[in-house]
Amino acid sequence: MKRWFTSLAASLVAAAMLLDAPAAGAEPPTLVELFTSQGCSSCPPAEAFVAELAKRDDVIALSMHINYWDYIGWKDPFASEATTGRQRSYARRLSRGMVYTPQTVIDGAAHAVGSDRGSVERAIRKAQAEPRLRLDIGLAQTADKGLVVSLPGADFKGTAAVWLARYDAERTTRVTRGENAGRKLRSTNVVRDLQKIGTWTGQPLELRLPASMLTAGEGGRDGCVIIVQQDDFGPVLGVGRLALSNNPS
């Protein structure tokens, strides 16, 4: 009987691993990052667009809240130095020299005004049509609620950062001050924790993360995204997502 239960538990864990996995033969998804702020009156339309993009199978859409607008009257509760620093690094990499909101960055290689649906859609189609390396990332949550990240080997010269982004699937905030005072704002796939967890050099790589890393801090426990990105915030080489099960045993 114990062996039967062990087998059943293993089957259920395996089934859970596949919930967010792309269909066999499908192209790996495109990463869409929206840099936004609750203190920005131009951002709500971009947030609504990201909520639509998040429903697509060919896209992984994340909301990255920045903190440099906090001084104008409303402190964004989801803003962080990590997401703000990520946008500033993109500004240097994409030769802009400045940051703005709402900004959407597509696969780390192109950007567009986040509320300009046509420009964002064109950038997504262009990224998907480019003949470049796209990794299939294996993600599995273990029985003890840790995470196993599996990266394949590939013909790649150089190094790439492996990022872990934990997110809240949806958050609603009633804003009482600033440019959006009186509005009830909804945010989708809000990144609450962003950290580098490894380096990929083209060789097969397996990373094992403890459950404590997936539950640390406030929020960010609905799901996680692994981003493999050429060093110095270059093009995204692979992205994968997994819904997390962090309920107490």
Which pLDDT value is given to residue 175?
A: 98
Which pLDDT value is given to residue 16?
A: 41
Cα 45 to Cα 43: distance, rounded to the nearest angstrom: 6
User: Across the strands, what pairs with 186?
Assistant: 172
Which pLDDT value is given to residue 149?
A: 98
pTM across the whole model: 0.89
Which pLDDT value is given to residue 246?
A: 62
Which pLDDT value is given to residue 9?
A: 41
Cα 157 to Cα 178: distance, rounded to the nearest angstrom: 47
Which pLDDT value is given to residue 147?
A: 97
Q: ∠107-209-225 over CA atoms, to 5°? A: 25
Cα 40 to Cα 85: distance, rounded to the nearest angstrom: 18
Domain ranges of the chain: 2-243
Which pLDDT value is given to residue 196?
A: 98
Task: Answer whether 16's CB lies under 8 Å from 245's CB.
Answer: yes
Positions in the chain short of pLDDT 70: 1-26, 246-249
Which is nearest to 214 in space by CA: 143, 151, 127, 146?
146
Which pLDDT value is given to residue 5?
A: 37
CATH no., domain 2-243: 3.40.30.10
| DSSP assigned state of 26 | P
Question: Distance of alpha carbon 176 from its chain centroid, rounded?
Answer: 28
CB contact set of 91 (below 8 Å; sequence gap of 6+)? 97, 98, 99
